Structure 1
Amino acid sequence: MKKYVRVVDGKVDNIFETNNPITEEFPSDQVWVDVTALPKIDYSWNAVNTNGVWTFTDSDPWGQQSALAIQLRSARMPRIERANATLASTALAYKVELGLATPADEAGLLAYKQFFIDMSNVNKQPGYPLTVTWPEVP
């Protein structure tokens, strides 16, 4: 899995992880930089390209997370946690795998899989990260 950031006006405005080439995920006219090897990077960080070498610096010299990053994480995490808790408590995946699932169980598991796919694609929405339509947890 590779980690990329999109750079707009000298700032990181999107972070995306994928196994696919980034040009398969987003339009080729966007500036995406592979940051897989970097230990930490966040939204609103400064991005500078000097002779083809990208450097990223925290836009907050005190090292605090940006308000946008905090907002996105606080909106995302409860949804993921609720979905994972439901899947763990109902054992839907195990029921389907062992052939013990009802048609409703199978439909439920598919709904959760679609939810996780939709959550992984939130940052492909137009207007992201300033405008986000979060998927509903099944």
Structure 2
Amino acid sequence: MALRETRVVSPDRCARRQIARNLIAGTLLKLGPIARKATGVISGIGIDYRAARRATDVALAGDPARLYEALRGGRFVLVAPGMAAHGIIAPWADRVTVVAPADPSTPTCSSVPTHTSPGPATGPKPAS
């Protein structure tokens, strides 16, 4: 019964489909917006999260020099001016990296390893 319902596709037909698919995909990937979207999805950078927006790359004081470089470690990153935040995150020190922005007027914000940010932190600013 199962053999009767199974259709056998000839190798010639498969080859034609593969050629058509490659031709169409190759043509579409030459278009800028489609190529950027495909590259973003493949690399993971183009994945959108509804509740968060992509964090902007912030210049940091010290090493690493940029937020995106700090995120490469795969840990949560807290961008906070001054050293007061180190005490606040002590219970999570094994999972959170605290970095200081190069510009002290940069608002305190958090970022997760997927490079998304819930936005500036709310509440009182830590003492500088």
**TM-score of the pair, normalised by structure 1:** 0.21
Larger Rg: 2
Higher strand residue share: 1
**TM-score of the pair, normalised by structure 2:** 0.22
Q: Taking CA–CA contacts closer than 8 Å with sequence separation of 6 or more, which of the two structures ends up with the larger relative contact order?
A: 2
